[in-house]
Amino acid sequence: MRRARLTYKNAWHHVMNRGYGGKNIFIDEDDKKYFVYLIKTLSKKLRIVIAAFCVMDNHYHLILQNKSGKMSNFMRDLNGDYGFYFRQRYGGKGYVFQNRFHSTLIQEENYLEQAIFYTLMNPVRANIVDNPFEYIWSSVHCYFSQPKNKLSLCFVDTSVVKKKIKRKNTLLIELQNFGGQELKFISTRAGPVFGDESFKKNAIRLFDRRQNSQEEFDIKRRKNESFISVKKIRSIIHKEYGINLASLLFYSRKEKKIRRHFLVLLKEEGGLKYSDIILLPEFKKLKLSSLSGIYATAVKEFGLEEK
């Protein structure tokens, strides 16, 4: 079972992920442009505040605020949508990103500014540029000027940076002073924290409260909802499409669409978890990690509200 994220509504995070096996996943400018477009559109849709970003060849960094409490949804869609794009463009199967995204909870006072500096200095640490303003695929250009191009990079919330820094030259000086510093995290049983001890204790307290509330909600949900059987769901699919699922090989687009519909019904009407669904014969050739992305696509495809 996956560990729940150390987060809560309005929490700040440093989030990163890299290509599977450390391989490059942002091959050219079109790839980076599309990924930034996804950050922009999904953050707006799910009300996630982006304070800084940097997209490298084989990984990315985000500084975000979980304003809506939907950070996991945002990251699932971001990685899932880009993974689909990457495989469509370059072929291949399997993982695009190495793991689940890495997330570190950030204390807002002082620490948040350091996390932003760390993100913006990533191309300098990697010896790609000497000046962070020479690198186009980060938000460094967005706080005090708008770049004259068609990349639409500047959708970030600039207030965190502008709270203490009033000019572009001052930002450059602060970044150069920060240099190649690494962020020193505090490990906790719920995940890493970038802050002081009192912040860590309060974060764990809020996390435990959220976990207890979720467990109570899940218990009530199981008691109050009645789900239908897998057999009944197969019957629904048979009536809808006039086919028997057992006869499908899931090679064609139509057959894959039917399987996506089946997946949605299994979750919404059958109440099954991905670990249950992956055991069914219709999904045996898929990876457990791919089901959430397929489900997200299916929800949009069939015009449903994601739960």
How many angstroms separate the CA atoms of 260 and 93, rounded?
18
Q: Which two tokens stand for residue 118?
A: 């760390």
Which contiguous run of DSSP H or E holds residue 7? Answer: none
Paired with 14 in beta bridges are 63, 104
How many angstroms separate the CA atoms of 297 and 99, rounded?
20
Helix, strand, coil % (nearest 5) of the chain?
A: 50, 10, 40
Taking the whole predicted model, whether its pTM rises above 0.85 is answered as: no
CATH of domain 12-213: 3.30.70.1290
- Least confident among 2-16, 162-176, 215-229: 215-229
Q: How confident is the model at residue 150 (pLDDT cuts 50, 70, 90)?
A: very low
How many angstroms separate the CA atoms of 205 and 207, rounded?
5
Mind listing the pLDDT tens digit for each residue in 200-255?
Answer: 888 778 766 655 544 444 444 444 456 888 988 998 998 888 888 888 888 888 99
How much is the pLDDT for 303?
58
Q: What is the total residue count of the chain?
A: 307
Task: Please compute Rg for the chain using Cα positions.
Answer: 22
Domain ranges of the chain: 12-213, 230-301
